Amino acid sequence: MSNRDKLAEEIEDPMVAGALKYFKASVNAWSEAAYTEPRTVVRIARHNWRLAATWALGCMLAAGSLAGGLYERHQRQELARIEASKAATKAAEQKVALERKAAEQPAAAKIVTRRQPTAVKKEANENEDLLATVDSDVSRQVPAAMEPLAQMMDSSGTN
């Protein structure tokens, strides 16, 4: 059934039509009465406490946000300060360690230089001993090895 048919059927329904007629008359009567009724201006009672509560809440929120922000900023600054202090301490310690190390190194070098002549002397002695050993070995072996040739030379010389 189309909308138009439905509409026609509803309007033809005497109960609906009657109710709609009464409804219209009722709205008209009410509207006329309200429209012609003399209007009095009434001062609107403002809910001051509501306004005050709203303001108070707003102020509290603003103050809370501000305080939170400041606290956060302070915390960060404090953290940064502690970090900087730690870093400075560490740097100072490293510096001290480096200085200590630097101070220890010349002493070690002095010891080395103080010991050097003895070591050189010892080394020279060792070298001399080694050369002496080599010389003695060579002087002992060479004649033994060359002996047959020397004998041959002698014999051919004699011949």
Partner 1 sequence: MTAQAAEEIAARDFASIVESHRPQIFRFLLASLRDVDLAETLTQECFLKAHRNWNSFRGDSSAMTWLMRIAINLQKDHWRNRRLQFWRHTQANAIGVDEASDWLPNGERSAEQQIAAREQVAQVWKAVDGLSARQRTVFLLRYVEDRELSEIAKTTGLSEGTVKAHLSRALARVRAELRGTR
- Contact with partner 1 (CB under 8 A): which of 6, 73, 90, 95? 6
- Binding of partner 1 at residue 54 (CB under 8 A)? no
**Residue 65 tokens, joined:** 């946000």
Q: With respect to partner 1, which residue has the nearer C-beta, 40 or 156?
A: 40
- Binding of partner 1 at residue 18 (CB under 8 A)? yes
Helices 3-12 and 14-36 pack at an angle, to 10 degrees, of 80
Q: With respect to partner 1, which residue has the nearer C-beta, 15 or 145?
A: 15
- Tell me the closest approach of the beta carbon of residue 9 to partner 1, in angstroms: 9
Give me the torsion for CA of 29, 34, 35, 38, rounded to 10°. 140
Q: Dihedral sign for Cα 101, 102, 103, 106, please.
A: positive
Binding segment (CB under 8 A) for partner 1, from list 21-29, 57-65, 78-86, 92-100: 21-29
Please report the DSSP string for 44-89 in residue order.
Answer: ----HHHHHHHHHHHHHHHHHHHHHHHHHHHHHHHHHHHHHHHHHH
Binding segment (CB under 8 A) for partner 1, from list 30-38, 81-89, 102-110, 126-134: 30-38
- Binding of partner 1 at residue 80 (CB under 8 A)? no
Residues that bind partner 1 (CB under 8 A): 3-4, 6-7, 10-11, 13, 15-16, 18-20, 22-35, 39
